[in-house]
Amino acid sequence: MRIVVVGGVAAGMSCAARARRLDEHAQIVVFERSEHVSYANCGLPYHIGEVIEDREQLLLQTPQSLKDSLALDVRIGTEVVAIDAQARTVRARDLQTGEEYDEPYDGLALCPGAAPVVPPLPGIEHPAVHVLRSVADMDRIKAAVDGAPDRAPIAHAVVIGGGYIGLEMAENLRHRDVEVVLVEMAPQLMPPLDRELTTAMEAHLREHGVQLHLGTRAAAFRDGPDGRVRVELESTATVTTDLVVLAAGVRPQTELAVAAGIELGPRGGIKVDDHLRTNLPDVYAAGDAIEVEHAVLPGAWIIPLAGPANRQGRVVADNLCGRDSIFSPVQGTGIVQVFDLVAGGVGANQRQLEAAGIPFARVHLHPSGHAGYYPGTSAMHLKVLFDPDTGRLLGAGIVGFDGVDKRLDVLATALRAGLSVFDLEELELAYAPPFGSAKDPVNMAGFLGANLLRGDLRQWYADDYPAAVDGARIVDVRGPDEFAAWHLPGAHNVPLAELRERSQDWDRDLPVRLYCAVGFRSYLAYRALAQRGFTDVSTLAGGMTTFRAALELAPQPGVDSQAPVVNYAEDRTGANRFSP
């Protein structure tokens, strides 16, 4: 058996290594056009920021180490330029010598990955404009940040893109005391998350000195003074900087596949079946270049994440070696840390469910990362979406300072297993004061969701305002000081302790819309009124914390606002604090 693998990073090396473990006698050749193989590309921003000081820590393997441990024939600096499916050969080109030769295969694994999106803008070739995808890219950016004997370190950078790589670059450049401007074409950071979850991220970035331009994009790059570059934005703003990092997404590298007659899917990625086979015999594909089935949403999707890429490489190896392995749908589980704040999501977000016409219910809650009486915790914002009939999980998003990764992994596992909010109620999770609460945030999400589906709770939502409160009695059940600091227009302050007595003379047929800080006191008020004969009562999901994150603080497109924002749980005492 002769296996050829095109691409030597996540999917490609996972495939090659798995194939060797399954077949000790196979001949396995890996072609990688860069000078590095099996490197930790997710760690590249952290070496630039010197969080990872030793560059060699990112170079997990070398051709020699792979030959010694797995008997793999790894050829770096070699690009596969053509596939002849009829002859069962690939044409390889040595990028140093230009020499070309044909390599035969019995089974072929295409793992070409994805390339950074580089828009065709005026001045995009400016030497100060960089992408970050490879070790060589990292070295060039770090050299600029470090400076040289004849060149001062850079003092200012513009990052284009507010996704995973853009946020990590912004953070790591700030670690190096570089002034950072971040530009994102969407009206929010982290477009995979719903808007109300990203407000705290934007506040946190600003507090750490990152200037944000949201709802706009780069229009051109012009020569600036002293070798700098002027970044012109569609919002008409201009930023003069020393360095630009393009992190505006990636596109699947499919040129080789298209030239060979391999079919693409509707989103422009390589089309594969559930065994990751292409339409050519004995040719498989894996990694960032392929389209996959989503665990929640219909249709084919391109989801360039390291975890799925590694699993895809294993599935391809299984099938090349005679096993019958199927790749399961992708959930899109992702997480990012920005300074002290962590944000992540799994499954579908609300916008995606609405676009796909998938019915859903949702809950918002703001539990602490661990027991509130134990030092070092703060509230997180947890949003869970689920089927309104069965309660089956459809997606979740979380942002907070501690315990986010733990809850995200539990919810990702639950979604994979097809669990419902009723199942979340029953999960028995690890608890001690430093780690969690007796009622874990995941349990609490289950309690809320199950209450909603059982009819023990009715909610109104920030994105339904003001229609949701039209013609209703708006009741703020917080304390007088909280009410005086900020409240909804037209609201009446009836603290929870006074509600039962003061509501005795209210019209029970008049709609009542309740709210508090995070939704707990208003839930208690809801139960009290619902059992006193009020026919139309509902409580604000997630309370004013969610409301202000969703509505009040949304930036206007193109506006670089440094205005104060909600400083959500920033002091880590277990209590929330707000700017009025």
CA distance 45 to 51: 9
List Cα–Cα distances, 2 to 16, 70, 440, in angstroms. 11, 15, 51
Task: Name the residue among 315, 304, 311 with its Cα closest to residue 275.
Answer: 315
Task: Name the residue among 65, 79, 102 with its Cα closest to residue 30.
Answer: 79
130 DSSP assignment: E
CA distance 109 to 90: 11
Say which amino acid occupies 99: E
Q: What is the DSSP string of 302-339?
A: ----HHHHHHHHHHHHHHHTT----PPPB---EEEEET
The per-residue b/e assignment along 117-139, b for 16 or more CB within 10 angstroms, e otherwise, is eeeebebeebebbbbbbbbebbe
Task: Name the residue among 490, 494, 495, 529 with its Cα closest to residue 509.
Answer: 529
Question: Are β-strands 238-241 and 229-233 bridged in parallel, bridged antiparallel, or unpaired?
Answer: antiparallel
Please count the other Cβ atoms lying within 10 Å of the Cβ belonging to residue 458: 14
- Element (DSSP H or E) covering residue 238: strand 238-241
- Phi first, then psi: what are they for 36, rounded to 5°? -135, 145
Q: Is 42 a catalytic residue?
A: yes
CA distance 367 to 380: 6
Catalytic residue among 15, 42, 111, 321: 42
CA distance 2 to 23: 11
Residues 542/381, Cβ–Cβ less than 8 Å: yes
Tell me the catalytic residues. 42
